[in-house]
Structure 1
Amino acid sequence: MGPDKHTVRPAGRGILATAVTVVCAVTVLAAPGTAFAAPSPSPSPSASASAGASASPSPSASASTSVTLPPDKDLEAVRDKLDRLYHDAAVATDAYNAAEEAAAKQSAEIVELAKKIVQGQRKLDGLKARAGRAAAAQYRTGGLPDTAQLLLSDNPSQFLDGAGRVLQGERATKGLIRELTQTQQDLKQYAADAADQWNKLEAGRKAKAAAKKKIKQRIAAAEKLESTLEKKQKERLAELEREAAYQAQTAWLDTGILDEIHTKASAAGKKAVAFATAQIGKPYVWGAEGPDSYDCSGLTSQAWASAGQPIPRTSEEQWKQLRHIDVKDMRPGDLIIYYDDASHVALYIGDGAIIQAPRPGRTVSIAGAGSMPILGVVRPDA
């Protein structure tokens, strides 16, 4: 059974609020060197001491500052491990989605083959009935072939008339035999094809189960690791993640890439962007493709389906099958594929920004297009 796809959407998010969020985020992301607001540094111990010199700290305040944070390099190691776990989960999610998509196609093919087998069997039964009637007619005439009966006839006129019927009958018999043979061969091939599809379906079921198991294992391991952290460690970890994304996005923008990107969205691209924008705030759930939750390729595939352009379900197949575009030529609505294994995908919305379903525990949100390693760009409506 697939993942839970009935997660409740956060309440109170109106269209106007969403639009304001997008406009603000895009404005910030568009400025090179200021792609994200630089994360605020943690207050130094001396600053904390001077701030608290005028008054005695409350018991709760003392408790909240009792945790000694490990060095950033240790938290970076934790962040790297979490990234690997969630990356592995993303790869497994792609495998799960691919197996699910293949299973749907194979099931449909099996249904069509079953229909052909039923129709072929009916045709074969009809042909056998015709052959049976021909055999019965021959039996009623004493078992003599039509040609022999004509040679024994004393009436020349009857002989000539009958000769034509014999030729027609022989052609019909040969045609009947050919049709019987072909129908039997077709049925045999349909049965072999159906068996082949069943075998693929079973192999896909096993692959899907293995991918599901791996996804759950990796997510559980990541959640367990995160649960060992104190509140302040989690806050610092999130800060390190924001810093890394900020630095990557700033470096990408500082190449001057936005000076080269001037292409406007197509009509279909605008629809895809509008759909993705409306999903902001909905949770990431692996294997989900809406309407209440999404994984990365579930979001992009549904965005383009809403624009009347069906595309492959997985990020890997989107990378393989869709037309590749130079980054400098990309336009809103294009898909940016990330990492060397094409394990993540997001929808470009313009001005250096993307909408993505990031990973478990996160929601559909806006991010910098250069905040992750870009593999390439593809265009669904090429």
Structure 2
Amino acid sequence: MAPGKRGRISAAITVVCAICAVGVLAIPGGALAAPAPDPGPSGPPASVTVPDPVADAAPATNAELETVRKQLDELYHDAAVATDAYNAAEELAEQQSTEIVGLAKRIVAGQEKLAELKERAGAAARAQYRMGGLPPEAQLMLSNDPRQFLDGAGRILQGERATDKTIADLQQTQDDLELYAKDAAAGWDRLEANRKAKDRAKKQVEKRISAARELESQLAEEEKERLAALERRAAARAQSAWVDTGILDGLSGTATAEGKKAVAYATAQLGKPYEWGAEGPATFDCSGLTSQAWAAAGTPIPRTSQEQWRQLTKVDPADMRPGDLIIYNSDASHVAMYVGDGTMVHSPRPGRTVTLAGAGSMPILGVVRPGA
């Protein structure tokens, strides 16, 4: 291939391939995986010869643009997986922080109770000291009024029982405080580990998006238009193949009142930009849009597409109705909301906005129904 623009595109694809060969953060079974090793310093591998930037600038061929399209799909897919990992870590961090705050409140309350119990125990000890510690028989012999003694003995017995309970409460409170302290320390350790996992996921997202933007920057405006046309044709082919299965012929389910509210919320966001990790109101990622739509309908659902797939009720795509969530890709890395007539609304990827698209324009993993 001649050097120049076509050569630069080829070199960019080679670099992207090297980046894509590096593992991406995933959440197998809900756990945050360790990051893959960094591929090394930025820039093309040593084996790649950087072309002359002033040489021939022949436009990229359709075959080259198709390669670019597939590489962009892979990069944005990897970014979506890492975004799910980031969102999961963010959600978990919020839960862990809430738990730590709750433990801190228990510790404060326990310390106050402990101080009160110590004061009561001290008062009981001082009262016993004032009585001289004499056994009841000796106190009876020294008493001028046996009736008064018996009344006093009853009060002493009650006091002893109260003291015993105070001591038991004191021990239990001390045990509780030790447990709370251990739980809080463990919570801080988990929170710190989760913060590191979130930072790793963030770096993965940014690395993939940066590589995709670098690849796109190598294209002239005319090539970008042709690339967009290739993307539309690929989506149209996938949608046509999905419709040709006859799936729409059997779809007759109507949305519930909550489903209508969720659809209304999602479609009201049309045109708003995609932003990874965002839940609105100005920007959204894919699962941020669906989770906020159902929250607006009064039904909270998990934050990430992977957890939406794992936790929500699965339904046969042939029984799909507006408001249901369509999960895409074998790793559940993308989610959209079905709005009817073979159409879904979703927040696609960086550089795009919330939009309507064919529900079958991407590989469907399955369908889930909130509130089922």
With normalisation by structure 2, the TM-score equals 0.81
Matched residue SS, 2:95: helix
Q: Is 2:82 the partner of 1:92? A: yes
Q: Does 1:328 align with 2:318?
A: yes
> How many correspondences in the alignment?
316
| Equivalence for 1:24 | none
Output one character per residue of 1:311-359: Cα deviation in whole Å (capped at 9) or x when no partner: 1111111111111111111110011111111110001001110000000
- Distance in 1, Cα, partners of 2:105 & 2:130: 38
Q: Distance in 1 between matches of 2:137 and 2:355?
A: 88
Residue aligning to 1:22: none
Residues 209-228 of structure 1 mapped to structure 2, 5 A cutoff: 209-228=199-218
User: Residues 82 and 201 of structure 2 are in contact (CA less than 8 Å); yes or no, is this contact kept in structure 1?
Assistant: yes
Rounded Cα–Cα distance in structure 1 between residues aligned with 2:136 and 2:234: 94
**Cα distance in structure 2, aligned partners of 1:121 and 1:226:** 61
The answer for unaligned runs of 5 or more in structure 2 is 1-55
Identify which of 210, 213, 226 aligns with 1:236. Answer: 226
Q: CA deviation at 1:190?
A: 1.1
Q: Secondary structure at the match of 1:102?
A: helix
Query: Does the 8 Å contact 1:67/1:230 carry over to 2?
Result: no
- Residue 32 (structure 2) aligns with: none
Q: CA deviation at 1:67?
A: 6.3
Alignment partners' CA distance in 1, 2:177 and 2:96:
19
Match of 2:283 in 1: 293
Matching residue within 248, 255, 261 for 1:271: 261
Q: C-alpha displacement at 1:166, in angstroms?
A: 3.7
Q: Select 1:249's aligned residue among 232, 239, 243.
A: 239
Contact 2:104 2:184 survives alignment (8 Å): yes
Distance in 2 separating the partners of 1:87 and 1:258: 27
Residues 85-113 of structure 1, C-alpha deviation per residue, up to 9 Å, x if partnerless?
11111111111111111111111111111
Aligned to 2:28: none
In the alignment, what sits opposite 1:303? 293
Distance 2:314 2:140 in 1: 77
In structure 2, relative to structure 1, the CA distance for the partners of 1:147 and 1:195 (3 Å cut) is farther
Indicate the SS of the match to 1:333: coil
How big is the alpha-carbon RMSD for the aligned residues of Structure 1 and Structure 2? 1.7
SS in 2 for 1:376: strand
Q: Bigger shift: 249-258 or 101-110?
A: 101-110
Deviates more, 1:219-228 or 1:99-108: 99-108
Give yes or no for contact 1:124–1:184 (8 Å, CA) kept in 2.
Answer: yes
Q: Is the 8 A contact 2:103 2:184 kept in 1?
A: yes
CA distance in structure 1 between the aligned counterparts of 2:70 and 2:230, rounded to whole angstroms: 11
Cα distance in 2 for partners of 1:117, 1:67 equals: 70
2:169 maps to which of 175, 179, 183: 179
Query: Post-superposition shift, 1:152?
Result: 4.6
CA contact (8 A) 1:138 1:145 kept: no
1:368 to 347, 358, 370: 358
Distance in 1 (alpha carbons) for counterparts of 2:129 and 2:109: 31
CA distance in 2, matches of 1:320, 1:145: 71
CA distance in 2, matches of 1:358, 1:294: 10
Give the Å deviation of 1:375. Answer: 1.0
Specify whether residues 320 and 279 from structure 1 end up closer, same or farther in structure 2 by C-alpha distance, changes over 3 A only. Answer: same
Number of the residue aligned with 2:30: none
Deviations 1:129-161 (A, max 9, x none): 00111111122222x156465465455444543
Instruction: Give SS of 1:378's match.
Output: strand
Q: Distance in 2 between matches of 1:149 and 1:204?
A: 67
1:37-186 → structure 2 map (5 Å cutoff): 68-142=58-132, 144=133, 147=136, 149-150=138-139, 152-154=141-143, 156-186=146-176
The residue number in structure 1 matching 2:183 is 193
Question: Matched residues, percent identical?
Answer: 66
Counterpart in 2 of 1:340?
330
Distance 1:252 1:322 in 2: 24
Q: 1:20-52 CA distances to partner (integer Å, 9 max, x unpaired)?
A: xxxxxxxxxxxxxxxxxxxxxxxxxxxxxxxxx
The answer on whether the counterparts of 1:265 and 1:332 sit within 8 Å (CA) in structure 2 is: yes
